[in-house]
Amino acid sequence: DQQVKQNSPSLSVQEGRISILNCDYTNSMFDYFLWYKKYPAEGPTFLISISSIKDKNEDGRFTVFLNKSAKHLSLHIVPSQPGDSAVYFCAATPIVNRDDKIIFGKGTRLHILP
Amino acid sequence: DTGVSQNPRHKITKRGQNVTFRCDPISEHNRLYWYRQTLGQGPEFLTYFQNEAQLEKSRLLSDRFSAERPKGSFSTLEIQRTEQGDSAMYLCASSLASIYNYGYTFGSGTRLTVV
């Protein structure tokens, strides 16, 4: 069962425009959420995170929004740049378990078009 | 500190052979995780260590898989009698006791191809 769902396998966005990547989760015990970015032949790198006590977290061009009642989060990238072309993984973990085991979605491949 | 290091980067092996991968975490990180990623999937949890203790193993980790972290430093993941279905990217990650704010730090992975 897929506890973290990224329903868009790929997304193409014009350079300079906003990229919005979506993620849904099913486990109500999740209360810490993360986004990772992955380039080919590299491991995933941490991008941004959000705790369930917040509904928004911003870091430069990246903003993550959390709608806990809908079990939905999204990553906004503004403005999109060519170097943002990568696979983005949404991930979640239940803090209560204290093991910090992160559950990942299948990823969304973002293409930034010139 | 150069981050999480994994060796080898690539491994091609014949079905039925044993393989071993090594992971060197960031030195001050006491938690170490192994994940597996296949094509079109996100990383899937295999096992994790806190210092030298292996605290959890996924059901994905069959009896042919074994992981160790002697002395709480580097870790090894061994696959015995490899099968074609074991072909995947094996990712190691490490973290401090709390992942909040920075998550895990992943290595570049070991890509295993079983022929």
For residue range B32-77, what is the model confidence (pLDDT) as tens digits? 999 999 988 999 999 999 999 998 888 888 899 999 999 889 999 9
**Rounded mean pLDDT of A68-83?**
97
Please state whether beta strands A72-77 and A45-51 pair in parallel, antiparallel, or not at all (unpaired). unpaired
Comparison of pLDDT for A31 and A80, the residue scoring more? A80
Contact A105 B109 (CB under 8 A): no
Q: Which residue of A has its CA nearest to B34?
A: A101
Question: Which residue from B4, B56, B105 is facing A101, i.e. has the nearest CB?
Answer: B56
Please state whether beta strands B110-114 and B10-13 pair in parallel, antiparallel, or not at all (unpaired). parallel
Q: Do residues B67 and B79 make contact, with C-beta atoms less than 8 angstroms apart?
A: no
Kindly report the nearest CA distance between residue A95 and chain B, in angstroms: 9
Comparison of pLDDT for B61 and B99, the residue scoring more? B61
Give yes or no for residue A66 having a pLDDT over 70: yes
Q: What is d(CA A38, CA B101) in angstroms, rounded to the nearest whole number?
A: 18
- B positions 3-62 inside 8 Å of A (CB): 4, 6, 31, 33, 35, 40-45, 48, 55-56
Task: pLDDT band for A26, please (50, 70, 90 cuts).
Answer: very high
Question: Which residue from A51, A99, A105 is facing B42, i.e. has the nearest CB?
Answer: A105
